[in-house]
């Protein structure tokens, strides 16, 4: 039997998927009505979080942040079964994941951080990606059951908190990607280019397919044979900015990129490949 704490869009669909797989699930949510709603699917809802975890071999959590995880686990601790394993799917800081791993170990429990790249529909369909790291004996024990909740479990090795860091990197990319698309749509609107025309462009030309090659080029350390000179990329970026200003389009991301380009041009790197703007940021 398992307990699940946090009945948001992701947590509630995780629970529905678990029930569909024949599991008994006890649920809790700060707003009790959300937990109670899960009884229609076969879950058992509790108003008290300590009661919700009683008898559970696994306690899954999907909450908001470090503070909420710490608060809810502290309240639940009185009901935890000896030997219960806490599996936290919340996106948190790396420091928080490391601290909780150690703190719960000292109390005689296993805390496994397992953040996800999954939307609510993925949780319901058991598709998407789940990340783990830490004690490899623990991850080996949990991976078979975690893999039933998702399409893929990615193990990033023995370092606690590494999965949390990878999750933050992925989410940062999603945020910047979406903000970049927002700028793209804003400029299209200002230039009176229809949404259907933007869609036609990206249906035929998929820049996302360039990501692996772009990452390799950015991190190669060789920027002396440009496919697009930084000076030329900056010229085009100014065209974006000018067109936006002339047509009343708001760009959120491009002005910051222009500033970074200017910084590298001022360092005498204008004739280099424009990917040089990543040079100082490459991990060892």
Which residues are designated catalytic?
167
Q: Residue 244: phi, psi to the nearest 5?
A: -65, -45
Among residues 279, 274, 174, the alpha carbon closest in space to that of 234 is found at 274
- As given in the structure block, the two tokens for residue 48 are 């008290």
Among residues 218, 239, 238, the alpha carbon closest in space to that of 283 is found at 218
Per the CB < 8 A criterion, the answer to whether 24 and 1 are in contact is yes
């Amino acid at each position: 039997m398992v307990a699940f704490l946090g009945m948001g869009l992701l947590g509630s669909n995780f629970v529905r998927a678990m029930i569909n797989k024949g599991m008994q699930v006890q649920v809790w949510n700060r707003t009790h009505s959300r937990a109670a709603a899960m009884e229609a699917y076969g879950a058992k809802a509790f108003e008290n979080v300590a009661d919700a975890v009683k008898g559970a071999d696994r306690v899954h959590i999907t909450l908001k942040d470090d503070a909420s995880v710490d608060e809810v686990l502290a309240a639940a601790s009185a009901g935890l079964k000896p030997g219960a394993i806490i599996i936290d799917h919340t996106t948190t800081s790396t420091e928080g994941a490391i601290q909780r791993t150690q703190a719960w170990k000292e109390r005689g429990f296993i805390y496994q951080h397992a953040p996800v790249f999954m939307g609510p529909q993925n949780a319901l369909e058991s598709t998407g990606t789940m990340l783990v790291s830490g004690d490899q004996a623990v991850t080996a024990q949990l991976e078979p059951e975690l893999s039933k909740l998702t399409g893929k479990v990615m193990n990033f090795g023995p370092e606690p908190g590494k999965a949390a860091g990878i999750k933050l990197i992925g989410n940062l990319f999603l945020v910047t990607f979406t903000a970049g698309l927002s700028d793209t749509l804003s400029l299209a609107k200002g230039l009176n280019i229809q949404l259907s025309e933007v869609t036609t462009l990206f249906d035929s030309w998929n820049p996302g397919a360039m990501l692996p090659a772009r990452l390799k080029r950015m991190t190669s350390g060789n920027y002396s044979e440009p496919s697009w000179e930084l000076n030329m990329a900056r010229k085009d970026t100014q065209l974006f900015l000018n067109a936006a200003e002339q047509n009343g389009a708001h760009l959120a991301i491009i002005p910051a990129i222009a500033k970074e380009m200017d910084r590298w041009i001022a360092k005498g790197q204008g004739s280099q490949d424009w990917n040089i703007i990543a040079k100082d940021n490459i991990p060892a």
